[in-house]
Amino acid sequence: MEETVIVKPEELHHLIQKKLTAAGLSEKHADIVAEHLVFADASGIHSHGAVRVDYYAERIAKGGMNRTPEITFEETGPSSGIVHGQNGVGQVVVLEATNYAIEMAKKSGIAAVGVRQTSHSGALSYYVRKAAQENLLALSMCQSDPMVVPFGGKENYFGTNPIAFAAPRKNGAPLVFDMATTVQAWGKILDARSKNKNIPDNWAVDASGKPTTNPHHVHGLLPISGPKGFGLMMMADILSGMLLGLPFGKHVSSMYNDLTKGRDLGQFILLIDPQRFTDLEQFKESIETMVTELHEIPPAEGFQQVYYPGEINQLNYEKYMKNGIPIEKNIYAYLLSDTVHFDQYSGADAFAQSGTGK
């Protein structure tokens, strides 16, 4: 397993921003992406943190992310709209879409905003957390590459299609829950590759359809809880793809195949103002009571405490932002180097295999 180094959040932000600007991204957009990736790593979501910089840098340098998108908001109703991202960097496009949705939800009580033509947008928890900090309930989901073997099938069709939810609390940071609709997100397997670490045998299958523990042999991911995860990823694809007139299922563009072209991905954001349904302070107090009651449940054997879903990520964030973030030594070395990218993703399949590089 690779060793880790502890990096201060400010240094990690600076190194990521510097690498992305070297690839051709503006300082403003690189700053937004860096903030997002630091958030992911600090939250313990290393699959969506600095491990992604090499890929982003290669796609930016090769023109597959629009460096100067004219992001526009098309209001389609008092509570609905579409953000046209022109295949800009996903973190930039979706953050702007989230800000539009926040403004609309505060005005109308609810906001359903679709995002058309974006690129990989990273950890969805970042966006729903922003909305919850504005006292809104938030739900978001997006498409991804066809990497998942559907329940009962042999060939990949849907992507990991993550779903994230957030709610404001009376005390402390918002309650945030973020999950892939597969047993594990593809980024977790990327993270395992970077650490030269095996994966559990229920995460994925190899080219022959058999369970594999080698992250380099993965050719299909498995839906969480079989048919239930299969249904959730279908729902996410319909709301973030078909609903916006975008490619869906196996027609969604590959993350790695052609890094010179935009991916035309979709994302869906739904925000709700609790004050349109109940007293805000009472609602936030109820969330707080729920958290307290969960903490008071006696833990099962082998567990120290019951946490609400997503709480460990928040505890990680508080700890790592204060004490420094653990980063894989090889990733940190790349960020310190003069290399913009390693030219290892272009032409690869959905699992970053058989590319032009290593």
User: Active-site residue numbers?
Assistant: 120
Q: Under a CB-based contact definition with an 8 Å cutoff, are residues 271 and 281 in contact?
A: no
Q: Could you tell me the two tokens for 328?
A: 């894989």
Q: How many CB atoms lie within 10 A of CB 3?
A: 10
Q: Which residues contact 278 (CB under 8 A, 6 or more apart)?
A: none
β-sheet bridge partners, residue 165: 139, 177
Q: What HEC string does the chain produce?
A: CCCEEEECHHHHHHHHHHHHHHCCCCHHHHHHHHHHHHHHHHCCCHHHCHHHHHHHHHHHHCCCCECCCCCEEEEEECCEEEEEEEEECHHHHHHHHHHHHHHHHHHHCEEEEEEEEECCCCCCHHHHHHHHCCCCEEEEEECCCCCECCCCCCCCCCCCCCEEEEECCCCCCCEEEEECCECCCHHHHHHHHHCCCCCCCCCEECCCCCECCCHHHCCEECECCCHHHHHHHHHHHHHHCHHHCCCCHHHCCCCCCCCCCCCCEEEEEEEECHHHCCCHHHHHHHHHHHHHHHHHCCCCCCCCCCCCCCHHHHHHHHHHHHHCEEEEHHHHHHHHCCCCCCCCCCCCCCCCCCCCCC
